[in-house]
A and B are shown apart, each in its own frame.
Chain A
Amino acid sequence: DAGVIQSPRHEVTEMGQEVTLRCKPISGHDYLFWYRQTMMRGLELLIYFNNNVPIDDSGMPEDRFSAKMPNASFSTLKIQPSEPRDSAVYFCASSSYRGRSYGYTFGSGTRLIVV
């Protein structure tokens, strides 16, 4: 298994543009998480899915952020319109909960810079 795959690895965009981040979880994992990492705020959970259904999106900062998981092998995080304060590394992680948590497998992250 290639692990959790995220794309793109880097994204530089202008303020106001739409940004779409993509994630392919590990096959068989039924939980998918989107995190944002910044120097100031550390790791923040944005949203997570179970069996493709959004369970908790309380960490999504604003309506400009949206996430979807149309099937078990693909998820997107969209920011529209993007702002400079959205600049961060966005991580996707997946896991399987078999009675207890066995920890997450993280992707390599997408480094987003909004200018």
Chain B
Amino acid sequence: AQRVTQPEKLLSVFKGAPVELKCNYSYSGSPELFWYVQYSRQRLQLLLRHISRESIKGFTADLNKGETSFHLKKPFAQEEDSAMYYCALSPPGGFKTIFGAGTRLFVKA
């Protein structure tokens, strides 16, 4: 079964500390993976896609097919990074994206 697991509901770090939001997926194949961010009472926004290998707002995510993980990382967290983060999976050739339950990141001053 296709599944996206974000084991942490809440992650609290101090400003300037490294942050890693975990995402594990279950899919027998090569899915497309995404991270979305939702700031307080705003729309969900696409943060990054694994196919682009990009860094957005200092965040990066590496796809580890062996561990079926797609963890989101940032070396130095900022207060404005406080938000809800969703990991999402889209099967190749299909289009029905599955979202994880989300992790709320709280960056303390």
* Interface residues, chain A, with chain B CB atoms under 8 Å away: 31, 33, 42-43, 45, 48, 50, 56, 91, 93, 95, 97, 100-109
Q: Is the beta-carbon distance between B97 and A104 smaller than 8 angstroms?
A: yes
**Distance A106 CA – B44 CA, assembled complex (angstroms):** 6
Q: Is the beta-carbon distance between A45 and B43 smaller than 8 angstroms?
A: no
Q: Chain A residues with Cβ under 8 A from B34's Cβ?
A: 101, 103
**Distance A56 CA – B94 CA, assembled complex (angstroms):** 12
Per-position binary interface string of chain B over residues 27-52, scored 1 when its CB falls under 8 Å from any chain A CB and 0 otherwise: 00000101010000011111001010
**Distance A90 CA – B100 CA, assembled complex (angstroms):** 17
Q: Is the beta-carbon distance between A106 and B97 smaller than 8 angstroms?
A: no
Chain A interface main SS type = strand
**Distance A106 CA – B100 CA, assembled complex (angstroms):** 16
Q: Is the beta-carbon distance between B43 and A91 smaller than 8 angstroms?
A: yes
Q: What would 21 A/B residue contacts be, using CB atoms closer than 8 Å?
A: A31-B95, A33-B97, A42-B100, A42-B102, A48-B96, A93-B44, A95-B95, A100-B32, A100-B51, A100-B92, A101-B34, A101-B90, A102-B49, A103-B34, A103-B36, A103-B46, A103-B49, A104-B36, A104-B44, A105-B46, A108-B42
Q: Number of B residues whose C-beta is below 8 Å from A?
A: 21
Q: Is B85 an interface residue (CB 8 A)?
A: no
**Distance A33 CA – B98 CA, assembled complex (angstroms):** 12
CB distance from A3 to the nearest CB of B (A): 8
Q: Chain A residues with Cβ under 8 A from B44's Cβ?
A: 43, 91, 93, 104, 106
Task: Answer whether A106 and B43 are a contact pair too, CB < 8 Å, given A43-B86, A100-B92, A101-B90.
Answer: yes
CB distance from A39 to the nearest CB of B (A): 10
Interface residues of B in 54-71 (CB under 8 A from A): none
**Distance A95 CA – B34 CA, assembled complex (angstroms):** 14
